Homo-oligomer: A and B are copies of this chain.
Amino acid sequence: MRLTSKGRYAVMALVDLARFDNITPVSLRDISLRQGISLDFLEQIFSKLRKKEIVQSIRGTQGGYILNRKAKEIKLTNIFDAVDEKVKTVQCKKESKKGCNGKTTKCLTHNLWDELESHINNFFEEKSLEDLVKDNAERRV
């Protein structure tokens, strides 16, 4: 199981963004340079973050992005959800070979994968952007 770059970059970029005052917009160009992430790719990512109201955009010169909510209220789960970084442990669909549809008939290990999914998602639900910024500030002392 691996985390995709899209998900990782989204979090990295938002942590970078959250370090600022949240009044003056931060341009993607700056984030791109600081974090070493392609500008074009960042634009794709922020387009999704904006649609899910995690960030707010300010167009034009001196424009950029600011957080749309308090860092405390943005959980990792919200970020991953926005960029379609899903935790998937099963493939089981309605019509499976072995009749595992997740409801009436379950495959031998279905509960295990459900548990695993919850376990990972719990982690994402607990961590907020604020936690990450704080954590980072502490380590720099």
Contacts and interface: CB of A to CB of B under 8 A. Distances in A.
Interface of A: 1-5, 7-8, 11-12, 15-16, 34-36, 85-91, 96-98, 107-109, 111-113, 115-116, 119-120, 123, 127, 132, 135-136, 139
A132 B108 CA distance: 9
A88 B3 contact: yes
A-B pairs with lowest CB-CB distance, top 5: A36-B97, A2-B88, A36-B98, A3-B89, A119-B123
A2 to B, nearest CB: 4
A5 B109 CA distance: 13
A2 B3 CA distance: 8
Contact of A108 (B5, B16, B86): B16
Contacts of A87: 1-2
Contacts of A15: 108-109
A96 B3 CA distance: 18
Nearest to A80: B1
